Amino acid sequence: MDDSTATTRHRSKRSRSPTGRDSGDKDGNDVKRHRSRSPHRQKHKHHEKKEKLPFKSPHLHRHDYDAYSALFAEYLDLQKEINIADLDDREVQGRWKSFLNKWNRGELAEGYYDPQMKQRADARSKEFARASPPRSMAIGKSGAKLPATSNGNGNASEDDEDDDGFGPAAPTTGGSRYGPSVPTFGDLQYKREQASEDRSNQLADLRHNRKQDRKAQQAHLEELVPRAEPGSRERQLEKKRDAAVSNKAFADSKDAGTEEVAENDLMGDDGVDAFKAQKKAGERKKNERELRKDEILRAREAEREERLAEHRKKEGKTMEYLRGLAQQRYG
C-alpha cells in the first residue's frame, strides 16, 4: 500500500500542461511562460551590423530607388538578362528588394559599387528619359497603398524582413516601349476594311469618270451633227437609218467567207514536203523503238533459257547421284 501510494503521488506531481507545474510564483501571481520559435520576434545581430562596402559606398534603403534605378536596370540586364521595361510593378518591387539586400551585404561584384559605373548607367538612362519617364518608387510606410506581394512569387526578397510596403508605384502615364509593336486582330481587320473601302472608292470614281467622258463625247457629237427634235419625222428616219446600218454590218460579218491562208501557214514553213518529212521521221522513231523493244525481249528470253538449262543440268546431276546411291545400297 505504501509503495502504490508513493507512486500515485509521484505521478500526480507531473503535469502535461506547460502551466500546470510551478504555474504560480512565490507571491501567488499566475505567470504564463510562452515559447516562441518565430525568427521575426527578435532582431538578429547580423541584421544590425553594417558591413563595409567596396569603394566606401553607402548602404541603400528602400527610398533610394529613384537614385539607383539606372544601376538597378544595368544589373538586371547584365546578370539576369531581363529588361526592366518588360516587368510589372510587383516583380520590379521584389527584384529591387533582392538587389537591396545583396548590395548591403556586399555580395555584388565590386564593379557595381564603383561610382563611375553608376555615372555611366545614369548617362545611358538619360538618353531614354525623353521617350519614357522613369519609374518612381512609392513608400508603403508613408501612406501610399500598394498591392500586396504574393508569398509564392519566386522573384521576391530572400529575407523575411517585414518591409514589404515599398516598390514601384503604378505609372501615371502608359510607358511606351521602344520599337514597333505587334498589330492586334482589330488593327488588321481595320486595315483590311480600309483597303477594301479604298478599292471600292477607286472603282466608283473610275465608273463616274467614264460615264462623264461618254456624256461629253455624246454632247460633242451632237454639236458636230445636230439631231432632229425628238418625236419628229426626221428623228424617226435617223433611227431607222442607224438600225439599218448596224443590221447590215452584223449580216456582213456573219456571212463573210473564210479568209485565205497561205500554204506555209497551214501546212508549215516548207509545205507538204516538210509535213511528209516529219511523218517519216516519226515513223522511223517508232520503228526504232519497236526494234529496241524486240531486242530487249529476245535478250531476256535468251537469259531465261540459259537459266533453265543450268537448272536442268543441276537436276540431272542430282538424279544421277541418287541413282548411284540406290544401286550401291539395293544392288
So where are the chain's domains? 49-168, 185-230, 270-330
Least confident of 65-69, 146-150, 272-276, 315-319: 146-150
Q: Residue 171 above 80 pLDDT?
A: no
Least confident of 59-63, 103-107, 174-178: 174-178
Residues with Cβ within 8 Å of 35's Cβ and at least 6 positions away in sequence, in order, are: 18
Q: What is the pLDDT of residues 85-128, one digit of tens each?
A: 888 888 999 999 999 999 999 888 888 898 888 888 888 888 77
Q: Which three cell numbers stand for residue 90?
A: 510587383
Beta bridge partners of 147: none
Instruction: Give, in order, the Cα–Cα distances in Å from 295 to each of 292, 301, 302, 311.
Output: 5, 10, 11, 24
Segment 183-198 shows an average pLDDT of 78
Tell which phi-psi region holds residue 117, choosing left (phi > 0), alpha (psi between -120 and 50) or beta.
Answer: alpha
Give the pLDDT of residue 25: 47
Instruction: Give the sign of the dihedral formed by CA 240, CA 245, CA 250, CA 256.
Output: positive
Give the pLDDT of residue 248: 84
Instruction: Give, in order, the Cα–Cα distances in Å from 312 to each of 6, 159, 308, 319, 321.
Output: 119, 96, 6, 10, 14
The share of the chain scoring above pLDDT 90, in percent, equals 13
Q: Residue 145 above 90 pLDDT?
A: no
Q: Residue 143 above 90 pLDDT?
A: no
CA angle 74, 76, 82 (to 5 degrees): 120
Do the beta carbons of residue 176 and residue 132 sit within 8 Å? yes
Cα–Cα distance, 45 to 217 (Å, whole number): 103
Provide the mean pLDDT of the chain. Answer: 72
Tell me how far apart the terminal alpha carbons of the chain are, to the nearest angstrom.
121
Tell which phi-psi region holds residue 7, choosing left (phi > 0), alpha (psi between -120 and 50) or beta.
Answer: alpha
Q: What is the pTM of this model?
A: 0.30
Do the beta carbons of residue 135 and residue 171 sit within 8 Å? yes
Q: Residue 17 above 50 pLDDT?
A: no
Segment 72-82 shows an average pLDDT of 87
Q: How confident is the model at residue 203 (pLDDT cuts 50, 70, 90)?
A: very high
Q: Which amino acid is at 25?
A: D
Q: Cα-atom radius of gyration of the chain, to the nearest Å? A: 54
Q: How confident is the model at residue 316 (pLDDT cuts 50, 70, 90)?
A: very high
Q: How confident is the model at residue 177 (pLDDT cuts 50, 70, 90)?
A: low
Q: Residue 192 above 60 pLDDT?
A: yes
Q: How confident is the model at residue 162 (pLDDT cuts 50, 70, 90)?
A: very low
Segment 198-218 shows an average pLDDT of 89
CA atoms within 13 A on the CB side of 64: 13
